[in-house]
Chains A and B, each alone.
Chain A
Amino acid sequence: LAKTTQPISMDSYEGQEVNITCSHNNIATNDYITWYQQFPSQGPRFIIQGYKTKVTNEVASLFIPADRKSSTLSLPRVSLSDTAVYYCLVGPSNQAGTALIFGKGTTLSVSS
């Protein structure tokens, strides 16, 4: 599985856009990029998944450049409730139920 590197922590203010970048230099051809969000004392929650270019849903956008060696999770107009740990995962998409390999994630703190 591809190793991922992301910042340990980030700070932001309410209403700002937050971009969290994840590096995955040895990503394989059949790997997808997936992001999870985890609030304190809760299980992680699936946010978004993508393979290339841009993916957008009601929560976030995921930008993936052509070489796929990095990806950026974009959270528009964050609020206090977006304070959480964000995990970037990279792995094969050939089957459902694949074991998830989490790193330490990025702790995002949003202030008013």
Chain B
Amino acid sequence: ETGVTQSPTHLIKTRGQQVTLRCSSQSGHNTVSWYQQALGQGPQFIFQYYREEENGRGNFPPRFSGLQFPNYSSELNVNALELDDSALYLCASSGGGTAPYEQYFGPGTRLTVT
């Protein structure tokens, strides 16, 4: 069984640029959630996708957008990057029989905006 994978591991971008982060969910899971974790803080919920549809969104602006594909992998896109977007971006998969509140996280993508 393959766990949740994310790419790239690290990324450096300039303010104003756009970035796409990728996530492959664990086999059998149909739900993907994205989180942003700033240094010293707990992860903050960005949004969730269930069967290719957005299924909930946290307090993030529209320049944060996403996609889920038929194989349940997912992308997080961030436009017009700001310095405060520097963080660890985590993807988590669930569903297909997982317990409520049980999500499987990937290792994250460390984004640095300069």
Residues 32-81 of B at the A interface (beta carbon under 8 Å) = 33, 35, 40-45, 48, 50, 55-56, 58
Sorting the interface of chain A by its residue count into under 10, 10 to 19, 20 to 34 or 35 or more gives 20 to 34
Give me 20 A-to-B residue pairs in the complex whose CB atoms sit less than 8 angstroms apart, sorted by A's number.
Answer: A34-B102, A41-B108, A46-B103, A91-B101, A92-B100, A93-B100, A96-B95, A96-B97, A96-B98, A97-B31, A97-B55, A97-B95, A97-B103, A98-B100, A100-B43, A100-B103, A101-B45, A102-B35, A102-B42, A104-B41
Residues in B with CB closer than 8 Å to A42 are: 105, 107-108
How would you classify the secondary structure of chain A's contact residues: helix, strand, loop or mixed?
loop
Query: Nearest Cβ in chain B — how far from A79, in angstroms?
Result: 22
Contact among A34, A44, A97 for B48, CB-based, below 8 A? A97
- Known pairs A45-B105, A97-B48; A32 contacts B100 (CB<8 A): yes
- Known pairs A95-B100, A96-B31; A43 contacts B42 (CB<8 A): no
Sorting the interface of chain B by its residue count into under 10, 10 to 19, 20 to 34 or 35 or more gives 20 to 34
Whether, in the assembled complex, B21 has its beta carbon less than 8 Å from a beta carbon of chain A, the answer is: no
Q: Are B58 and A99 interface neighbours, CB within 8 A?
A: yes
Interface residues of A (CB under 8 A from B): 32, 34, 41-46, 49, 85, 87, 89, 91-105
- Known pairs A87-B42, A102-B42; A46 contacts B104 (CB<8 A): yes
Contact among B48, B92, B102, B105 for A49, CB-based, below 8 A? B102
In the bound complex, CA of A85 to CA of B58 (Å) = 23
- Known pairs A96-B95, A99-B33; A34 contacts B44 (CB<8 A): no
Contact among B35, B40, B41, B101 for A98, CB-based, below 8 A? B101
Whether, in the assembled complex, B24 has its beta carbon less than 8 Å from a beta carbon of chain A, the answer is: no
Residues in B with CB closer than 8 Å to A87 are: 42
By beta carbon, the residue of chain A nearest B102 is A46
